[in-house]
Amino acid sequence: MDAKTSRYHETYARWQRDPAGFWMEAAAGIDWIEKPKTAFDPNAGVYGRWFPDGVCNTCYNAIDRHVEAGRGTQAALIYDSPVTGTKETITYAALQTKTEILAGILHHNFGVRKGDRVILYMPMVPEAVVAMLACARIGAVHSVVFGGFAPKELATRIDDAKPKVILSASCGIEVARVIPYKPLLDEAIGLARHKPDACLILQRPQCTAELTPGRDHDWHKTWEHAVVWAHNVLEPVALQATDPLYILYTSGTTGIPKGVVRDNGGHMVALKWTMQNHYGVSPGEVWWAASDIGWVVGHSYIVYAPLFHGCTSILYEGKPVGTPDAGAFWRVISEYGCAAMFTAPTAFRAIKKEDPQGKFFAQHDLSKFRTLFLAGERADPDTIVWAENLLKKPVIDHWWQTETGWAIAGNPVGLGMLPVKHGSPTVAMPGYDLRIVDESCKELPRGTMGSIVVKLPLPPSCLPTLWQADDRMKESYLSEFPGHYKTADAGYVDEDGYVYVMGRTDDIINVAGHRLSTGGMEEVLAAHKDVAECAVLGIKDDLKGEVPCGFIVLKAGVNRPHEEIERECVQLVRDKIGPVAAFKLAITVARLPKTRSGKILRGTIKKIADGDPWTMPATIDDPAILDEIGGALKGKGVGG
């Protein structure tokens, strides 16, 4: 397929001519309780709302309608957990029963009602997916918190979402390490001002959690009672398309995470559209997103989109390497006849590092596999080329954000693949009017680097607002470039309309495909009693793309060994943010390089650390400091 035979250009043009008509047509892919008459109301919400008069239920569209249409015996979920040695296939009919039971428990046992929030702090087990769907069934708003976050981060989310109930498990398993979750949950609830009414705890065989009397309930025991009481079974409730389905917290430019809100109707319409048109996958096929349900990729492409589309979705509790080896992905793809998969480039860098020759790959039959999709961070051309050579199948980079819930730019395999240009996630998807602008929002010519913005309105599924924070929504995304959504990514568009996403314009870094705020880490370091000043920035890493590196300036008079303070700083970030931050490098320096107006020269420090060419900034207050920084980095084995 080439640019001429792909239906991409005509599809994009059709959307441009008639966005409302385009999305109304896509809305026909969803079963509505009341079909929307209006596609978009520009006067509702912060920048308008999609399908304001539609009535629907997300869980019904993910499960019930497929059972009614005869897919009851088809696998909806395949749980494959090398870390526990477990494999389980859950049909659509079984998923329906499980979801009805848990919805009944939430409603009858814990009094959860439409609009109530439920936090999930769970590992990659089928119960977590059932919990998301059970919330959707009764109109409760779920908020999944990634297991690698520390109690303080969980506490912040508890205080913002104010959940009625928290669902958790006794532990997660990281390769061979059992990580007890209950002590983390207890600490988080202790730290939070808001207290949930109840916690439902899944006891896993690897570790038994002690339950707090009066608050904690055993998942299995509660389940057994609910099964006996058949009246617990609940039908999907009717929700406005604009009602919230979930809140997913993501790193913002300060330590306080942003509660990205996803609605019901627009989310379903956009995600259903992507499965065929973007990913080129048909109902009944096996699909795998190797991510975690704690991230947006997990929400959209482990749980919701594949189920809306009637696919079989793989839920994998393991890593690309080490569980047990670098052949794990090939084993899963071949064992289940997977048609397409989606993961972060980091995962492929990890496989490439351990098995550069692809010896494991050669041991598996991947005849049913068609396409590899990568996203979550910039896909470096080396990794793409390596994967292409090995797979002899298309490797497709695509670009999106927690805020959008689906690709802003991609290569629409279902519409006919466009030629791949390494380093580019290809072209804007229908729904996104992308512009490259300067600080005054003036559009820049093709090929010129600038801020990437989307002309409002955003398409369905994108965040209508931040949880109970319309003002923060406006201030974070809509005020800097009036009439546009600020992606906070910088890049350019080439003469063929291909987008190149080169990096963030804020303090967000991407570590192993995980989005983290360096500002948040600086807040933690600044709270250390001996630290006078600090700067955290992302430096290049062969495996994780980027890792954080913290520079600390000690208070006058502190004469403890620097290594001891640096170790404490590393531990502090792990304790306050979590292991997922991968903060392992703190470096003591005498002073930080600044401009004469006091701004830390992060860009220059980064270049030195990355071994990239750099020039002395004209505004620096004392050029000698950069040599000191270079020396300190070399002392830790960093820098060119």
In the complex, minimum distance from the CB of residue 460 to ligand AMP, in angstroms, rounded to a whole number: 18
Q: Which of 285, 377, 433, 530 binds ligand AMP (CB under 6 A)?
A: 377
Which CB sits closer to ligand AMP, 71 or 486? 486
Interface with ligand AMP, residue 378, by CB under 6 A: yes
Alpha carbons 161 and 256: distance in angstroms, whole number = 13
One-letter identity of residue 229: W
Report the C-alpha dihedral over residues 151, 156, 160, 161, rounded to 10 degrees. Answer: -20
Q: From ligand AMP, ligand COA, none, which one binds at residue 377 (CB under 5 to 8 Å depending on kind)? A: ligand AMP
Segment near ligand AMP (CB under 6 A); pick from 12-20, 63-71, 104-112, 396-404: 396-404
SS3 582: coil
Which CB sits closer to ligand AMP, 296 or 347? 296
CB 313 within 8 A of CB 303: yes
Interface with ligand AMP, residue 278, by CB under 6 A: no
Which CB sits closer to ligand COA, 64 or 317? 317
Interface with ligand AMP, residue 248, by CB under 6 A: no
Interface with ligand AMP, residue 250, by CB under 6 A: yes
Q: Which of 157, 398, 484, 607 binds ligand AMP (CB under 6 A)?
A: 398
Interface with ligand AMP, residue 412, by CB under 6 A: no
Which CB sits closer to ligand AMP, 93 or 490? 490
Q: H helices of 278-318, where?
A: 296-298, 305-308
In the complex, minimum distance from the CB of residue 460 to ligand COA, in angstroms, rounded to a whole number: 22
CB 323 within 8 A of CB 175: yes
Interface with ligand AMP, residue 399, by CB under 6 A: yes
Residue 519 corresponds to which tokens in the numbers above? 């500002």
Q: Which of 296, 453, 547, 552 binds ligand AMP (CB under 6 A)?
A: 296
CB 239 within 8 A of CB 34: no
In the complex, minimum distance from the CB of residue 305 to ligand AMP, in angstroms, rounded to a whole number: 15
In the complex, minimum distance from the CB of residue 53 to ligand AMP, in angstroms, rounded to a whole number: 30
Interface with ligand AMP, residue 258, by CB under 6 A: no
Q: From ligand COA, ligand AMP, none, which one binds at residue 510 (CB under 5 to 8 Å depending on kind)? A: ligand AMP
Interface with ligand AMP, residue 262, by CB under 6 A: no
Prior bond to 324 cis, omega within 30?
A: yes
- Distances in Å between the Cα of 446 and the Cα atoms of 15, 107, 493, 500, 553 are 22, 54, 6, 11, 43
Residue 17: CB atoms within 10 Å: 9
CB 630 within 8 A of CB 638: no
Q: At what angle do helices 8-17 and 19-27 cross, to 10 degrees?
A: 110
Which CB sits closer to ligand COA, 138 or 289? 289
Using alpha carbons, select from 328, 330, 320, 325 the residue that is nearest to residue 368.
330
The string of DSSP letters for 583-637 reads --EEEE-S---BBTTS-B-HHHHHHHHHT------TTBS-THHHHHHHHHHHHTT
In the complex, minimum distance from the CB of residue 294 to ligand COA, in angstroms, rounded to a whole number: 7
In the complex, minimum distance from the CB of residue 313 to ligand AMP, in angstroms, rounded to a whole number: 19
Segment near ligand AMP (CB under 6 A); pick from 113-121, 172-180, 397-405, 598-606: 397-405
Q: Which of 425, 430, 457, 550 binds ligand AMP (CB under 6 A)?
A: 425
- Distances in Å between the Cα of 212 and the Cα atoms of 63, 201, 232, 359 are 34, 10, 25, 49
Which CB sits closer to ligand AMP, 142 or 515? 515
Segment near ligand AMP (CB under 6 A); pick from 139-147, 149-157, 317-325, 400-408: 400-408
The string of DSSP letters for 192-224 reads -SS--SEEEEE-BTTBPPPPPTTTEEEHHHHHH
CB 100 within 8 A of CB 137: yes
Interface with ligand AMP, residue 476, by CB under 6 A: no
Alpha carbons 542 and 547: distance in angstroms, whole number = 10
Number of residues that bind ligand AMP (CB under 6 A): 19
Segment near ligand AMP (CB under 6 A); pick from 9-17, 74-82, 119-127, 374-382: 374-382
Residue 63 corresponds to which tokens in the numbers above? 């499960």
Interface with ligand AMP, residue 343, by CB under 6 A: no
Which CB sits closer to ligand COA, 62 or 297? 297
In the complex, minimum distance from the CB of residue 260 to ligand COA, in angstroms, rounded to a whole number: 15
Alpha carbons 128 and 295: distance in angstroms, whole number = 13
Alpha carbons 153 and 184: distance in angstroms, whole number = 10
Q: Which of 6, 264, 300, 401 binds ligand AMP (CB under 6 A)?
A: 401
Give the Cα-Cα-Cα angle 165, 168, 172 (nearest 5 degrees): 165
Q: From ligand COA, ligand AMP, none, which one binds at residue 347 (CB under 5 to 8 Å depending on kind)? A: ligand COA
204-243 mask for ligand AMP (x: CB under 6 A)? Answer: ----------------------------------------
Alpha carbons 56 and 264: distance in angstroms, whole number = 7
Binding residues (CB under 6 A) for ligand COA: these are 147-148, 172, 174, 179, 291-292, 295, 297, 319-321, 344, 346-347, 350, 376, 512-514, 543, 579-580, 582
Interface with ligand AMP, residue 96, by CB under 6 A: no
CA atoms within 13 A on the CB side of 524: 27
Q: From ligand COA, ligand AMP, none, which one binds at residue 378 (CB under 5 to 8 Å depending on kind)? A: ligand AMP
Binding residues (CB under 6 A) for ligand AMP: these are 250, 296, 375-379, 397-402, 425, 489, 501, 504, 510, 515
